[in-house]
Structure 1
């Protein structure tokens, strides 16, 4: 005896269609529950615990041991559950680390590539809390004693102007090479006025204005100073470049002179 053909879905009784829908929903929920259970098991399974961290990149200021000792206690989760952004933050919290890229390596390792800060200057804070300026003009906290022997210049000014101060330093420093002098300190006031302390002990008031305007005043000063010091045979103590048509200098043992 042959079986009756199955009715199309649209022609089935309402209760049959309802039962089929409920059954499908149960299967979906069961699948989701199994998936969730699987994820939960993976998140706790000792098989996928992070057993090794490979560190590469800049390691000039930190040893691998120091980096691991600082970062590992901050890591949470295993190979599957570890949040890579939180992992990155854990490594970037290590002193001298500027940036970190963290990725998983199957089945139980992390690969970390680091970029360290390269100190360009010491930043003298108004509150006496000195920090450092990196080669990108970014302020960062580190032990300033680590760079005491590096001969870094000292900067000061509004914190948000650190990059501008570094940029000005890089343009000003070559100007003083004909004088066999180097910038020991560079200060930017909150009103935008620049002051330089040379390694000879001389102070230069450069005044306000655009970078190009300040550099032009400094270049004119450097170009004419040897003639001035040779005339009075005395080293420079102080110079004020804020005059419109010249500058004033004070030489050691000589009264302040205005040079036009």
Structure 2
């Protein structure tokens, strides 16, 4: 006689009332918030421990124009905070405000040290705005670095370096430095160096060489008006002049006082002790 077995079905889970589920969820959330608060308070207390006060500020990199005591006196005293709370951007600005400092890299070093790496400006020329010169209110203490950037400095720091002087409108220092580097090698056959390079507000270039000639302005140095044009055009004009002017100075056995290269097919020169009379001399085309 066959028998039939009955299999028991698992009991269905009993759903908790909605208010109990909500209470459990709220309890978990509160526990997480409380744990987060404890961690936050613990971290804040840890950061305030004396062991994290800045104990050492190491300064390295380019320190040629400044001394370590000068840098520390100007910047370290402006640092505020400890290893964790110090604002690195403000620290960077404090060091870059020191004269001659171009860039500062500020890094934390565990647990209480700050490492500063400095890059100084490399002076390439003195800088004057043509607008300030024209108004008679020339600004003092500005230089151009090798990157074409203008920065403030004590010109007494470079008085023995015989730097060339650049003049130009606002925002043209980089162009003036590039033109100086292009033209300087071209004047080497004359055994002269550019003492001043001028860029007018109309875009016209001129130079004053570092010789002992008294020019038409009553100052020392041969004045050469070059005019306007692309860098290649300016360079070709100067190259042609340097290659041929020695014929005239040698012929008259005298010194060159000034030159005007703005003529379309040549140039005009003024020689010491040599006068000329020209009833209908052609005028230079403004370039």
Fold conserved between structures, TM > 0.5:
yes
Aligned mate of 1:210, from 203, 226, 230: 230
TM-fit CA distance, 1:43: 4.6
Aligned mate of 1:171, from 182, 203, 227: 182
Instruction: Name the structure 2 match of 1:232.
Output: 252
For 1:182-197, what aligned pairs fall within 5 Å after superposition? 182-197=193-208
Report the 3-state secondary structure (helix = DSSP H, G, I; strand = E; otherwise coil) of the residue aligned with 1:47: helix
Instruction: Name the structure 2 match of 1:15.
Output: 19
Q: Residue deviations 1:203-255, cap 9 Å, x none?
A: 00010010000010000000001111011111111100011000011111223
Query: Over alpha carbons, which structure has the higher Rg?
Result: 2
Aligned mate of 2:95, from 58, 68, 91: 91
TM-fit CA distance, 1:80: 0.6
Alpha carbons of structure 1 residues 254 and 182: separation in structure 2 relative to 1, 3 Å: same
TM-fit CA distance, 1:15: 1.5
CA distance in 2, matches of 1:248, 1:235: 14
CA distance in 2, matches of 1:84, 1:256: 68
The reply on whether 1:158 has 2:169 as its aligned counterpart is yes
Instruction: Name the structure 2 match of 1:137.
Output: 148
Count residues in correspondence.
252
State the TM-score, normalized to the length of structure 1: 0.91
Q: Residue deviations 1:143-173, cap 9 Å, x none?
A: 1110000110000102311111111101100
The reply on whether 1:252 has 2:252 as its aligned counterpart is no
Structure richer in helix, relative to its length: 1
- Conserved in 2, the CA contact under 8 Å of 1:249 and 1:256? no
CA distance in 2, matches of 1:35, 1:190: 64
Alpha carbons of structure 1 residues 128 and 38: separation in structure 2 relative to 1, 3 Å: farther
Report the 3-state secondary structure (helix = DSSP H, G, I; strand = E; otherwise coil) of the residue aligned with 1:150: coil
State the TM-score, normalized to the length of structure 2: 0.83
Report the 3-state secondary structure (helix = DSSP H, G, I; strand = E; otherwise coil) of the residue aligned with 1:121: strand
For 1:1-12, what aligned pairs fall within 5 Å after superposition? 11-12=15-16
Instruction: Name the structure 1 match of 2:28.
Output: 24
Runs of at least 5 residues in structure 1 that lack an aligned partner in the other structure:
none
CA distance in 1, matches of 2:43, 2:180: 55
TM-fit CA distance, 1:41: 2.6
Aligned mate of 1:76, from 67, 71, 80: 80
RMSD: 1.9
Instruction: Name the structure 2 match of 1:48.
Output: 52
- Conserved in 2, the CA contact under 8 Å of 1:42 and 1:80? no
- Conserved in 2, the CA contact under 8 Å of 1:120 and 1:132? yes
Report the 3-state secondary structure (helix = DSSP H, G, I; strand = E; otherwise coil) of the residue aligned with 2:262: coil
Runs of at least 5 residues in structure 2 that lack an aligned partner in the other structure:
1-10, 212-220, 283-287
